Every structure is written in structure tokens, then in C-alpha cells.
Amino acid sequence: MQVVLHAGAHMTDENRLVKCLAANRDRLEQIGTNVPDPASYHKLIRDTLHAARKGGVAPDAREVLLDAIVEDGSADRLVLSNEGFFGTPKMAASGGVLYSAAEERLGTLHQIFRHDDVELFMAIRNPATFLPAVFQKTRVDTMADFLDGTDPTEVRWSNLVTRMKSAFPDMPITLWCNEDTPLIWAEILREMGGLDPAAPIEQEFALLSEIMTEAGMKRFMNYMDAHPGMTETQKRRVIAAFLDKFADESAIEEELDVPGWSDDLIARLSEIYDEDVDALQRWPGLTMIGP
């Protein structure tokens, strides 16, 4: 069985992907992909991860999990989504280390699914906006305390990938930039669900409705209806053009108000992020979905 772990990151997906996959459940089941309701396994997997730290993984952990979330107890491809797989928002960048518990959590999940093919899907986000967003979800007083004195310019997603690849060199990893998600939404859904690149999919443009004006979205859908059969590349160009003209600025603007963070620091963090993404795109054996 293929086991797809969609591990967030925090403050990127907010369950939109798994909800859209669930809307395509009938089509996915035809190709053997099972997308269970996250409510059926979030607590169960969390409890299993916690129990494993004390006494290891129970021999029947896989069977218990599958019996609880898969109706017939089996699937060719199982999609599990939880931004908390690697910990809480506080653990997302505590001490300036992105998801310090990732290797341990992945190790436990690999033990549970030891006879299955485990792969990881994850969005990454510019630290200039990611760090403030996860910080706001914690009870830590200051960003400096959150990062434990680490310079924010030292935070790299490639460091997380290096750690995970060192621990699990054969595990396929698929990443994408959260900033690109509106342009590549359908491709992410198809890749995660195991669908063919040209397969029809429900809610293909669901994310656009959240960041485009109502009038713009109406004109966009009319345009798409009038131009069937476009390739994914053509669709992305159309999406980019409509967003350029009809984006809802109130929905996409991000206010950055971190005491001690200057405009120069934020600009530098964005430059470092771009460089980090460029490095990840050249990483052998790593899949980066991009526009």
C-alpha cells in the first residue's frame, strides 16, 4: 500500500487540500485511493505517536489504525493529512529549527507502516511570513524567545529536508511553495491522490474563490467554460492573468508586525527563501511542484 503523509506545514493548507480530495472521493476510490475523514485518525495517530515514545510501536498498530479509518481495512493508496504530524505550532520553529521532531515522528510512522511505501507531501512558506504566523499560535512572549536567540536568517527549509533525507533516504518527498498554491492547486490534488495529470477533478479552482473578487471569479469561470481543453500550463497563465487583475487584496495581504524586524530584514528573509527554493528545485530525488 502507498501511504501519503501530508504534513502541512502549519499556516499553509488549513485542511483545504484534504477537503477537496474528499469531494473527489468517488473518483479516487475508482483508482484505489482512500481519503478518510481526518477526524477519524487525528487523535488516534497522535495517541499512537505519544505511546510510541514510551513503549515503542505496538505490533498491531497498523491494523488498529486501518480498521478505524478504512471501511474494508485496505486500500492501494491511503492519504493522511495533518499539519500536526510533526508537532504543534510551537514545535514548528522552536529554537530556530524547523520541525525538530520531524525525524522522530517520521520514524514512528515508518514503523507503523513498515511494509508500506510511505511518501511525504508538504508545503513550505517564506519564513518572513511563516515565522510570525506560527509564533502567533504559541504562548511565547517574543519572537526572540521563540527562536531561542537564533537569527531568523539562519532558518532554512533545506535544512529540514536534509535531516529527513538523511534519516529516510528512500522516502519520496514532494514540496511546493505556499505562495504558488493558487496556480498549482489542481496538480497538487492530482499528485497527492494518484490521479493522471489530465484527470478531471472537482473543486479544481476552489482556492481561487477565496482570493479573487466575486466579479473576477465569475468572469474567470465564464472564460474557462468558453475555452475547454486547455493544458495545465495554459490554465496557469489564465489564472495568473485573472489574479493580476482581480485578486482580492484584503484576502492576500499579510501584515507583518514583529517587534525588532525591519523592512530590510523582511526583504533579506525573502531573498534567502528564494535562494533556498532554487536549491531545493535542484535537489536530486526531490519533487518540487511549481508553476
Question: What is the rounded distance in angstroms from the CA atom of residue 112 to the CA atom of residue 144?
Answer: 37
Cβ contacts of residue 158 below 8 Å, gap of 6+? 276, 279, 280, 283
Question: What is the rounded distance in angstroms from the CA atom of residue 281 to the CA atom of residue 291?
Answer: 12
Tell me how long the chain is. 291
70-79, 93-102, 250-259: least confident range: 250-259
Closest CA to 103 of 36, 187, 167: 167
Query: Residue 207: pLDDT above 90?
Result: no
Question: What is the rounded distance in angstroms from the CA atom of residue 44 to the CA atom of residue 65?
Answer: 7
Section 129-157 average pLDDT: 94
* Confidence class for position 195, pLDDT limits 50, 70, 90: very high
Structural domains of the chain ordered from first start: 2-201+274-289 (3.40.50)
pLDDT single digits (tens) 40-92: 899 999 988 888 888 888 888 898 889 888 876 568 999 999 999 999 999 99
Q: HSE of 39 in the Cβ direction (CA atoms, 13 Å)? A: 2
Section 173-193 average pLDDT: 94
Cell 537569527, residue located: 151
Burial class (CB in 10 A: 0-12, 13-18, 19+), 170: exposed
> Given the DSSP bridges, would you call strands 173-177 and 33-34 parallel, antiparallel or unpaired?
unpaired
Asked whether 123 and 176 are in contact (CB, 8 A), the reply is yes
pLDDT of residue 70: 87
pLDDT single digits (tens) 156-170: 999 999 999 999 999
18-27, 167-176, 220-229, 255-264: least confident range: 255-264
Section 167-180 average pLDDT: 96
pLDDT above 90 covers what percent of the chain?
Answer: 69
Query: Residue 129: pLDDT above 90?
Result: yes
* Confidence class for position 175, pLDDT limits 50, 70, 90: very high
Query: Residue 287: pLDDT above 80?
Result: yes
Name the grid cell of 72: 474494508
pLDDT of residue 288: 96
Section 195-209 average pLDDT: 88
Asked whether 196 and 190 are in contact (CB, 8 A), the reply is yes
Burial class (CB in 10 A: 0-12, 13-18, 19+), 283: middle
**What percent helix, strand, coil does the chain show, rounded to 5?**
55, 10, 35
pLDDT of residue 258: 85
Query: Residue 269: pLDDT above 90?
Result: yes
Would you tell me the crossing angle of helices 102-112 and 42-55 to the nearest 10 degrees?
100
Section 90-118 average pLDDT: 95
pLDDT of residue 150: 95
Look over the chain and give the mean of its residue pLDDT values, rounded to a whole number: 91
Question: What is the rounded distance in angstroms from the CA atom of residue 259 to the CA atom of residue 261?
Answer: 6
Side-by-side strand order, sheet with 77-81? 33-34, 77-81, 2-6, 117-124, 173-177, 286-289
Section 11-25 average pLDDT: 91
* Confidence class for position 229, pLDDT limits 50, 70, 90: confident
